[in-house]
């Protein structure tokens, strides 16, 4: 029953993050292609959802208050870097976590200086920023985020919640 187990895992991750199962599958593939542990996907997607919300709140503040709340002990927080990267909260808010992640990753990858690129990634994604630099700088991995799903991945995307239910029913009747 490996497919039902994977379907259950994807359905749970989708419920935890609010992201679609297809987006989770794409991110896991991209992370693997960039040699980044796919177990970080759930944390990154949850962080993207929170960050989009906080950025929108930050950008709604008057500029004088943005400056006061924009830095903490010398390290800028995500909304400040979103602004520096030319990303607008009003646009980011309407995008899925996956679309926002791709846009953010592309903006970080476009930074010329490796030091500035690392600073941006670490300031936005904290400890995960260092890991994500490998993904953002890998064109094939970034392409995997944009591709449409086919085959088994498409079936998992469409049927994950049914597979989860089947797995849970099996667990109830399985002998000890």
Burial (CB < 10 A; 0-12, 13-18, 19+), residue 63, is exposed
**Residue 104 Cα distances to 11, 78, 95, 137, 174, angstroms:** 25, 11, 11, 12, 45
- What is the residue-averaged pLDDT of the chain? 77
**Pairing assessment for the beta strands 71-72 and 75-76 based on DSSP bridges:** antiparallel
Give residue 110's pLDDT band: very low, low, confident or very high (50, 70, 90).
very high
Average pLDDT over residues 141-161: 75
| DSSP three-state, residue 113 | coil
pLDDT at 71 over 50: no
Which pLDDT value is given to residue 133?
92
Give residue 113's pLDDT band: very low, low, confident or very high (50, 70, 90).
very high
Nearest to 141 by CA among 41, 55, 8, 26: 26
pLDDT at 54 over 50: yes
Which pLDDT value is given to residue 76?
46
Average pLDDT over residues 126-155: 83
pTM over 0.85: no
Higher pLDDT residue, 138 or 88? 138
Which pLDDT value is given to residue 22?
83
Average pLDDT over residues 109-136: 88
In the block, tokens 């990267």 appear at: 85
């Amino acid at each position: 029953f490996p497919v039902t187990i994977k379907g259950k895992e994807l359905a749970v991750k989708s419920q935890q993050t609010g992201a679609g199962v297809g987006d989770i599958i794409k991110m896991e593939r991209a992370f693997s292609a960039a040699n980044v542990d796919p177990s970080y996907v759930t944390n990154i997607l949850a962080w993207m959802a929170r960050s989009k919300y906080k950025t929108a709140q930050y950008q709604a503040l008057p500029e004088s208050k943005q400056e006061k709340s924009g830095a903490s002990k010398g390290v800028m927080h995500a909304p400040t870097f979103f602004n520096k990267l030319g990303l607008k909260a009003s646009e980011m808010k309407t995008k899925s976590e996956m679309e926002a992640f791709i846009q953010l990753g592309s903006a970080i990858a476009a930074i010329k200086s490796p030091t500035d690129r690392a600073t941006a990634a670490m300031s936005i994604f904290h400890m995960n920023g260092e890991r994500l630099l490998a993904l953002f700088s890998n064109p094939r991995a970034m392409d995997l985020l944009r591709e449409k799903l086919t085959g088994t991945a498409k079936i998992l995307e469409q049927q994950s919640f049914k597979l989860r239910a089947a797995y849970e029913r099996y667990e109830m009747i399985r002998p000890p």
